[in-house]
Amino acid sequence: MNAPSAFGQEQEQKRFGESAMTITLTIVNVDLLPSGAPAFFQTANRSFQVGRDPNLDWTLQDPSRQISSRHCEVRFESGAYWLYDRSTNGVFVNGSTERMRGVHRLNNGDRLQIGPYVIDVMIAGDDGGLQIPPTVQGEPTAPAFDRPGAISASTAAKAGGVNEVSQRSMPVSGTQPALQPGSFLEAFCAGAGVPSDLFASRDQTELAYELGEFVKLTVENLSQMLRSRASAKAIIKSSSRTVIGSTDNNPLKHVPASAEAIESMFTRKRVGYLNARRSLEEAFKDLQTHEQATYAAMQKALAKLLDQLAPETIELAVKGSPFVPKKARAWDLFVERWEEQNAGENGMLDPFLAHFADAYDEATSKS
């Protein structure tokens, strides 16, 4: 994720003065906006507006058009940031299934849902401010509409990644009605390609619980692997980055909490998102491509880096001179090239990663 560094936040605070209260909004379910712009917004001690309109302070491109032209407004008043909903489809705070009404004081750690984007709020230099919200006059809240892909309140995700479902003991057999033969279990066996009587000896309630755990574990780990893939691409500055579009969005990439991703894949309420089967197929395909491209890029990057310092390359580059021995000229050229390659902030790692990114992008473009 392209969130600003701690150093960048410190510099921003210095820019606005010692008493600056810096607010950072970071989109956590995409790497970049569709335009290629960074997926975060940062300012201090001022009000700002958010929406699709390109003239606003923070423009959120949205091909699905769930976001209004002027979706919301954040005012800096009374030493705090106050959020106002100006949209048709709503702003959702901290996993609520109900759109916010009235005014909401933004706090460090809040999570917002604006259209398809999940946004974390970070406020630095927050001294608590005044708890009395500013008076709202003549600003009625937009009418409530059901948003596409509403997030369950019980699965509200906190900043930092996957939502953890609390541990609980296995339900006691017989406490829930058994699944009827010829319904769920039979269809599950058909979908899994196994005999319909495979689980005949199992308690169906216990089996259903285990299947639920299996799905949750699969979703959590696939999502984590896809986030690690995105982080690796960001480190090498690959031109191939994940952005959200109007269709075919993978919940395993763009929905941060496991329960919400499961909801999206199996209830199919989110507009523009893949179903469960296609989500898994695309995830495994992306991970396989990433693994193959990584190995190929490592070999090409190392070969290219070493080729520039190889003895035969140095010898070909040495110009003839009757006054300086050839070996001395070759050594001088080697030292010069080594220093050139090693001159970056991270030394020899910088040219290696540059070669790696080129080779990685080439490999992934062929897949």
- How sure is the predictor about 19, in pLDDT bands with cuts at 50, 70 and 90? low
Question: In this structure, what are the phi and psi dihedrals at residue 338, rounded to the nearest 5 degrees?
Answer: -60, -45
Q: Which residue has the tokens 């308690």?
A: 203
What type of residue sits at position 149? G
Give the strand pairing for 80-85 and 72-77.
antiparallel
Which residues make Cβ contacts (< 8 Å) with residue 258, sequence separation at least 6?
Answer: 162, 163, 165, 216, 219, 220, 223
Q: Tokens representing 35?
A: 């335009």
pTM over 0.75: no
Tally of CB atoms within 10 A around 53 = 15
Express each pLDDT in 296-350 by its tens digit: 888 888 888 888 777 777 777 776 555 667 777 788 788 888 888 877 777 778 8
E runs forming strands in the chain: 22-27, 40-44, 48-51, 58-59, 72-77, 80-85, 91-93, 103-105, 111-114, 117-124
Query: Tell me, what amino acid is at 92?
Result: F
Is the Cα dihedral 256, 260, 264, 265 positive or negative? positive
Q: Which residue has the tokens 């969130």?
A: 3
Instruction: Give the mean pLDDT of the chain.
Output: 76
What confidence score (pLDDT) does residue 11 get?
A: 45
Per DSSP, the three-state class of 251 is: helix
Among 310, 195, 286, residue whose Cα is nearest residue 232: 286
The position carrying tokens 């750690």 is 109
**In this model, does residue 356 exceed pLDDT 70?**
yes
Question: Percent of the chain having pLDDT more than 70?
Answer: 77
Three-state secondary structure call for residue 32: strand
How does pLDDT run across 225-260, given as a tens digit for each residue?
Answer: 988 888 778 777 777 777 777 788 898 888 878 888
In this structure, which amino acid lies at residue 102?
Answer: G
The predicted structure's pLDDT at residue 319? 66
DSSP code, position 4: P
Sheet-wide strand order for 48-51: 58-59, 48-51, 72-77, 80-85, 103-105
- 93 vs 119: CA distance, rounded Å: 10
Q: Are strands 103-105 and 80-85 parallel, antiparallel or unpaired?
A: antiparallel
Dump pLDDT digits (tens) for 104-127. 999 999 999 998 898 999 998 744
- Rounded CA separation 85/140 (Å): 9
> Residue 47 pLDDT more than 60?
yes
Contact 207, 199 (CB under 8 A): yes
Cα dihedral value 151, 152, 156, 157, nearest 10: -50
The residues, ordered by sequence, that sit 6+ positions from 214 with a Cβ below 8 Å of its Cβ are: none
